Amino acid sequence: MEMGSSIVKTGRWLGGTLLDQLYPPVCLSCDAPVATADALCSQCFRSLRSITAPLCPVLGLPFEASLGPDARSAEAIADPPPFERARSAVVYNDVARALVGKLKYGDRPELARFCGRLMAQAGHELWGPDAVLVPVPLHRVRLFSRRYNQSTELARALGRLTGLPVDPALVRRRKNTPHQVGLSGDARRRNVAGAFAAHPDSLRRLKGRRVVLVDDVITTGATIKAVTHALIKGGAERVDVVSFARVVTGSDA
């Protein structure tokens, strides 16, 4: 018994040492050596641009200067979204793009943990006790080829940090829409129109809860608006959105 546990301990010690020697921790974005795992090097961390107050209370877009507590962005006034509030952790720039790319196409759960920590801070106003986290779904064909949905990974990381439940089946993608990259705002809207549907049993699953939709990147907002419409159709009364990154026009992306 004693011998067994010391073998286990030795094994664990050897395992840890060997792992560190074989795979010394590297920056999540650029692979430069770093002191601790699940982190960015200091240069990449400085390049990451957090979105903090002052910001539009509806769209979460950063303001250059504070315009007062209830001042909305011109975008939110011109085209009010179906969701109540959107919050994003960082501006979608080169470092954010590298992180999201690795999160999407590589099997890197430590990235979801890192992004989740920043999203938990950015979305702090949204973590009421009645909230349920719902990832923006991938179509099953794309899910099969990628093996996992990056937004589900982010929602699970957020669920662990906030203690909120995650319901990845509340809304599904019924149309395998082409990639949105390179499409204009109007084309994006047409592309995702009717692409999502709430679960037939969504009302019972929601039980009066507020939805916090989880996405990796907000570009024009066409996708999150389409998902919100599907959720409202399915009986959701309030929908908020949180993303890791967001395209901010006029910023040095």
For residue 93, the minimal CB distance to Zn ion (Å) is: 13
Q: Does 27 bind Zn ion (CB under 5 A)?
A: yes
Q: Is 26 in the site for Zn ion (CB under 5 A)?
A: no
Q: Shortest Cβ distance from residue 40 to Zn ion (Å)? A: 5
Binds Zn ion (CB under 5 A): choice among 8, 9, 20, 29: 29
Helix (H) or strand (E) holding 172, with range, is strand 171-173
Region for residue 134 given its phi and psi (left: phi exceeds 0; alpha: psi -120 to 50; beta: otherwise):
beta
Give me the 123-162 binding string for Zn ion, x by CB under 5 A, dash otherwise. Answer: ----------------------------------------
**Tokens found for residue 122:** 């950015």
How far apart CA 85 and CA 52 sit, in angstroms, is: 14
SS3 184: coil
Please state the closest distance from residue 96 (CB atom) to Zn ion, in A.
12
**Crossing angle of helices 222-233 and 185-192, rounded to 10°:** 30
CB 251 within 8 A of CB 49: yes
User: Whole-angstrom Cα distance, residue 179 to residue 187?
Assistant: 11
Q: State the binding string over 207-246 for Zn ion (x if CB under 5 A, else -).
A: ----------------------------------------
Measured distance CA(194)–CA(1) in Å, rounded: 62
Only one residue has tokens 């009066």, namely: 208
Closer residue to Zn ion in complex, CB, 42/52: 42
Judged by CB under 5 A, the stretch of 22-30, 61-69, 221-229, 234-242 that binds Zn ion is: 22-30
Whose Cβ is closer to Zn ion: residue 29's or residue 151's? 29
Residue 143 vs 253, nearer CB to Zn ion? 253
45 vs 148 by CB, closer to Zn ion:
45
Rounded CA gap, 199 and 228, in Å? 13
Q: Are strands 171-173 and 239-246 parallel, antiparallel or unpaired?
A: unpaired
Residue of the chain from 25, 26, 30, 97 that contacts Zn ion (CB under 5 A): 30
Say whether residue 111 binds Zn ion (CB under 5 A). Answer: no
In angstroms, give the least distance from the CB of 30 to Zn ion: 3
Is residue 51 involved in binding Zn ion (CB under 5 A)? no
Give yes or no for residue 44 binding Zn ion (CB under 5 A). Answer: yes
Note whether 239 and 85 are within 8 A (CB).
Answer: no
Contact status: 34 vs Zn ion (CB under 5 A): no
Whole-number minimum distance, CB 97 to Zn ion, in Å? 13
41 binding Zn ion? (CB under 5 A): yes
Which residues touch 115 (CB under 8 Å, ≥6 apart)?
89, 99, 103, 154, 157, 216, 244
- Residue ranges that bind Zn ion, judged by CB under 5 A: 27, 29-30, 32, 41, 44
